[in-house]
């Protein structure tokens, strides 16, 4: 059992580092494209995992099914169009994970199609890694699309709301971190499965389409 857990951890760590790095790089790069170089000046427009990993968020993703990277600093006042550029920058992270999952799914299909031509010792590590990496990217994408502040989904939803509704949503967003923490604690201590009930179905459906269809 201990060996299995270690083996799983050795696959999860690089998959996790890849998913978080792609996610945060997409935020930083898109912000730079839209006129805000705050992240670029801090070295965050980088594919180096060390500049993007958040210690607590990484531990949560390794031990559980959710997590996050180090938030990318953004100054909306530098955007050309603050409202919609904030939507683009926020959505860039989850979108990058969805695209990564699609590319990894394609790679997995190619590997399986050439199963008999690839050395068995190579497949024993590659196939489980690809499966875990696909799941990691899907989890990170859909978790961050939840419309709860400070997750990306709250910024995306806010951008599409009329001005009056945005003000109401801003007041609700003040409770976002508490609500999010409450959900995570309830799931962690009482195993209610609230988070998995919300993001589990779309993750399962897309994983099936990418890997098994």
Arithmetic mean of pLDDT, 141-167: 95
- Check residues 158 and 67 and name the one with the higher pLDDT: 158
3-state SS assignment for residue 69: strand
Taking only the tens place, the pLDDT of each residue in 160-181 is: 999 999 999 999 999 999 999 8
Pseudo-torsion of CA 192, 194, 196, 198, nearest 10°?
A: 160
pLDDT tops 60 at residue 4:
no
Average model confidence (pLDDT) across the chain: 89
For residue 60, name the pLDDT band (cuts at 50, 70, 90): confident
- Check residues 138 and 213 and name the one with the higher pLDDT: 138
Residue 3 confidence (pLDDT)? 40
User: What tokens appear for 110 in the block?
Assistant: 């190619």
- Check residues 68 and 29 and name the one with the higher pLDDT: 29
Give percent above pLDDT 90 in the chain: 69
Catalytic positions, please? 24
The pTM (predicted TM-score) of the whole model is 0.90
DSSP notation for 85-146: HHHHHHHHHHHHHHHHHHHHHHHHHHHHHTGGGS-HHHHHHHHHHHHHHHHHHHHHHHHHTS
Arithmetic mean of pLDDT, 54-72: 74
Arithmetic mean of pLDDT, 140-163: 95
Arithmetic mean of pLDDT, 96-113: 95
- What is the distance, to the nearest Å, from the Cα of residue 185 to the centroid of all Cα atoms in its chain? 20
Least confident interval from 30-34, 35-39, 187-191: 187-191
Taking only the tens place, the pLDDT of each residue in 15-32 is: 989 999 999 999 999 999
- Burial annotation 140-152 (CB, 10 A radius, 16+ → b, else e): bbbbbbbbbbebb
Residue 96 confidence (pLDDT)? 98
Arithmetic mean of pLDDT, 51-68: 73
Arithmetic mean of pLDDT, 195-211: 95
Arithmetic mean of pLDDT, 69-78: 92
């Amino acid at each position: 059992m201990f060996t299995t857990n270690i083996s799983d951890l050795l696959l999860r760590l690089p998959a996790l580092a890849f998913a978080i790095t792609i996610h945060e790089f997409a935020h930083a790069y898109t912000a730079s494209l839209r006129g805000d170089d705050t992240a670029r000046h801090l070295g965050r427009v980088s594919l180096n995992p060390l500049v993007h990993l958040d210690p607590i968020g990484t531990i949560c993703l390794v031990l559980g099914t959710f997590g996050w990277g180090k938030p990318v600093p953004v100054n909306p006042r530098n955007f050309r169009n603050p409202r919609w550029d904030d939507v683009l920058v926020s959505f860039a992270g989850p979108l990058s994970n969805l695209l990564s999952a699609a590319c990894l799914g394609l790679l997995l299909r190619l590997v399986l199609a050439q199963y008999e031509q690839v050395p068995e010792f190579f497949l024993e590590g590659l196939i489980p890694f690809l499966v875990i990496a696909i799941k990691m990217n899907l989890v990170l994408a859909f978790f961050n699309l939840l419309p709860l502040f400070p997750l990306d989904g709250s910024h995306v939803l806010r951008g599409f709301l009329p001005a009056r509704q945005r003000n109401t949503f801003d007041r609700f967003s003040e409770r976002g971190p508490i609500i999010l923490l409450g959900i995570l604690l309830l799931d962690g201590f009482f195993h209610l499965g609230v988070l998995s009930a919300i993001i589990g179905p779309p993750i399962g459906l897309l994983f099936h389409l990418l890997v098994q269809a």
